[in-house]
Structure 1
């Protein structure tokens, strides 16, 4: 914290001297100096003198400062990199405060070492329907099994990441928190459950940990140190909390006339962005709600769109229409939202049904805020009251479809427009249809780069690479091919791509064919499901080429899967397992163990959504 004459009782000469010396002090020196001043002030109050007490000074000089001897372990379970990023930030802050820290993913942590851990901080996402991420599954199973040790000497805290639109919100983090307590651990700081907008609660969780550690070490308040740590660890110029306004350079429909799909190729300018990215990384985009939905919502309530409303705890205000457009989620319902709505709507019917088992999860599927208000009208509801129960409009993260080395001042996205009908109303994806219908070249959108450490490609010529990416899942593989071409790498690469029709839906067709011709891509297998009587998908092409697929695996190939999680990714996993059983003579159990080992060796990576 920089002292000035306006935020301190010192004059200009004094603040200048203090600001010169403070950055040079070690944490121990700051603690000593704080203690010295406190003791001196108490001494002055008792004996009424202006000069420092010699006895107090000598006592403080000869008093040993409490050492931070307890070792801290940070474990993360991460699917897309968010948990790992927070874990690395926490590691940095703890080290800046002179703590001894060990950071590890859960898959790289030896479970038998758990009984040796003194202070444990867990950061974990929840995957699918309440399942742990792939790199947390083994540790999650161990800690819930019979071999888990008693942890009576352990202090711990858990940060859980999730999405409130899922039934088992933050379930993995809750599992860890409850199990560590059951094993005898002492909760050093309460668990915090984060929704998609996790920055603020994660920051408060870290501050709580630093404060608890300081209290337990009989240290002084760490608020100033926390602020300094936050400033020094935030080296990015742009981030989720400080997005970059990227100009749209191109916005092209990749599908041919007559296609059932609309996939947009978006090119954004990153001039003066100042940060690189790698194939496999994501670009976060902060979208805006469709003005038609916002207008309908305002008309339903009879609210004035120009009414100023507070949008955060800091008292920042915006006109109501703008707040509903750019700051709050109105097209998706969550369980916490319905529970809070039952409290403030004054609707008896809603109060009754929210307590019925399974009703909320069934109701929220495919419905939005307009549906909720239509089905359960609210009485005398004020805008500020509604905004208090809405969550922030989350960013959408897309796999980057271009190479930084090939296009350092640009970033490309492959975005499929989402449109569907549910409950007798046409619906659309907030961000995807904004790109498809409301954004043109010259417009700007707020963006940030999101590193994805769990989807990283090899850049050598010895490792064969198999890429499985139907539809928009092909995006990161385009980035990888661009980068390989730029680096003039040779080696074996194999792409499985699928869509509905060859003539209208072969995304980036000319590029793939050019890479194939030039040898950047070694092999290309295609599956167009609507061009044949029997639907053919990428998993069928894998099984049809089982002998060659198995041979590539034996040669050390790395597998990458990107795309739909609910069906494609599961079907592809089953197909790969079938290849191992057929060509390798493995049992189903042994084939699964083989794939698990591939994941641990980073040879089987998935970016699924």
Structure 2
């Protein structure tokens, strides 16, 4: 085993010297050096009790010591945007430790990219964000590995677990690119990459088992009975009480359900307050609440009617043998609102339809993308069905309903045993039919005070208030992107924080869409909120957005940044977040007297230092 900064207490210069020296020593020299180090590192009495420097080490002891030294160190790196990969990383690390293995678990932005040449066994667990983009916390390592500075990795064994969503064209793209690049750099693939859809638990467990089997095969791990921790829980364990998590969500009663938009607005944004009493959930500002939603009963009934099914027929819904009536399974278990290429390929294996087969041909890639966009399972059945297949075969190709994550809009300190959400109802027309967001419209139309939602807390370490309450914060968001900032300001009010705060908020109209206006103005008056700039795009002839307000305040923004302010961006990734990023680069370039490249490096360094954090979707 070579020394590395990741598996020893030595710095990089020392590890290089040790790795140059040790291969040149013969056995006698190694024995002498071992005795010398033991003697010089202890007191005289300790040395007498622990080592005889004149006695040679017995060959069998040296062999055992050599075998122990050959145990390879394991590094697990996490690339995450929402926290799913973090939970999997913790679970995987626990399983490795149960094999008596040396494991280092790090977020990718905690890992120094240049140290990758010193890693021995590397396991990457990463998600893909949006249309094929790496998570924010993985950008440093991703860029380094894809640069000319990336080293040869001939001594590195690796495997990749990739999380993604098959409804996106670039499914698991980041994981695929890490896997391909590590191979290009000479790494040895210890286990094949596994790509996971939103229902990732079973394939992830298979990857865990496969990797551990390979380590055991190579003599790196012992067979030890496994204990599976419930690492996706953000609840405090109380003896005698159940642990609520993704596998066992808590039924939270709805205490309030209010439309925040005024009469005449183009939008409907619901403020929900949920009762967490009895859940033992803990959360911090910046975390998310996951809701396990249910499909619209009207859509479920339409699918059953079009397929001429018996809604009371029971079907198996999981590997544990759980059974449900068909209508309940389609309501609570299966995703019927999203078409994906993977689903259509599986469907093609059930039916013999020339039109569907042609649609899936590689040369019809754009036609397939156009067809999938905005359609659901009812559309698909009408276009290609009904099919002469059993209910079980049909539901067997469906994926589970993905949970929906919402930024928490409250502070637990200010609202004990409650959690608040800001949910924008999604409604639109496509292909001759009205469409509704699965979870958002469930909250808006089918959830009343006293009803319950199935929830669990999803921690988000990548979007956190600074520990130092005197640190200034700049919060930038539009629409429902205001949610985490409400939690930030509640938290700072409770803590009587002295740090300055500046909010940039945007929406369509001042009169109808100024979300949480009364609270924000009160915080402004009380000094909890130091400054506030707003942009209402439909109230002016020329549309004004938050990025324009940032540029108007360029000089002071840069002054806050230079004084150590944290910048937060929450909201739409495709447009708002990109435009805000561009505005920040322009401010740093102009006010800091920097070149474009220097401004990009400056902002990248802020991101690595957690001074620039984003929660975008």
1:197 aligned counterpart, secondary structure: coil
Aligned to 2:355: 349
Aligned to 2:175: 173
**1:462 Cα shift?**
2.7
Deviates more, 1:108-117 or 1:507-516: 108-117
Deviates more, 1:91-100 or 1:63-72: 63-72
CA deviations on 1:439-498 (whole Å, 9 max, x unpaired) are: 111111110000000001114343110001111000000001111111111221000111
Q: Does 1:293 align with 2:299?
A: yes
Equivalent residues in 2 for 1:232-251, closer than 5 Å? 236=235, 237-251=243-257
Aligned residues, how many?
544
Q: CA RMSD in A?
A: 1.9
Aligned to 1:10: none
CA deviations on 1:107-143 (whole Å, 9 max, x unpaired) are: 3323332222211111111123222222222322332
Q: Distance in 1 between matches of 2:401 and 2:231?
A: 28
Change (3 A) 1:218 1:71: closer
Q: Distance in 1 between matches of 2:464 and 2:259?
A: 28
Q: Is the 8 A contact 2:476 2:504 kept in 1?
A: yes
Aligned mate of 1:484, from 483, 487, 492: 492
Q: Does 1:473 align with 2:481?
A: yes
Q: Does 1:311 align with 2:317?
A: yes
Aligned to 1:372: 380
2:396 aligned counterpart, secondary structure: helix
5+ residue gaps in structure 2? Answer: 1-62, 236-242
Aligned to 1:52: none
TM-score (norm 1): 0.86
Aligned to 1:201: 203
Change (3 A) 1:253 1:145: same
Q: Is the 8 A contact 1:421 1:427 kept in 2?
A: yes
1:561 aligned counterpart, secondary structure: strand
Deviates more, 1:300-309 or 1:349-358: 349-358
1:414 aligned counterpart, secondary structure: strand
**1:560 Cα shift?**
0.2
**1:232 Cα shift?**
9.2
Aligned mate of 1:445, from 440, 445, 453: 453
Change (3 A) 1:175 1:219: closer
Q: Is the 8 A contact 1:93 1:233 kept in 2?
A: no
Change (3 A) 1:256 1:232: closer
Q: Distance in 2 between matches of 1:233 and 1:423?
A: 38
Change (3 A) 1:233 1:294: closer
Q: Is the 8 A contact 2:128 2:175 kept in 1?
A: yes
Q: Does 1:542 align with 2:550?
A: yes
Equivalent residues in 2 for 1:58-69, closer than 5 Å? 67=68, 69=71
TM-score (norm 2): 0.85
Q: Distance in 2 between matches of 1:499 and 1:415?
A: 14
Aligned mate of 1:96, from 91, 95, 98: 98
1:421 aligned counterpart, secondary structure: strand
1:113 aligned counterpart, secondary structure: helix
Equivalent residues in 2 for 1:258-407, closer than 5 Å? 258-355=264-361, 356-407=364-415
**1:234 Cα shift?**
7.1
5+ residue gaps in structure 1? Answer: 1-62
1:478 aligned counterpart, secondary structure: helix
Q: Distance in 2 between matches of 1:416 and 1:357?
A: 32
Aligned to 1:184: 186
Q: Distance in 1 between matches of 2:434 and 2:221?
A: 59
Aligned to 2:80: 78
**1:178 Cα shift?**
2.2
**1:229 Cα shift?**
4.5
**1:230 Cα shift?**
3.3
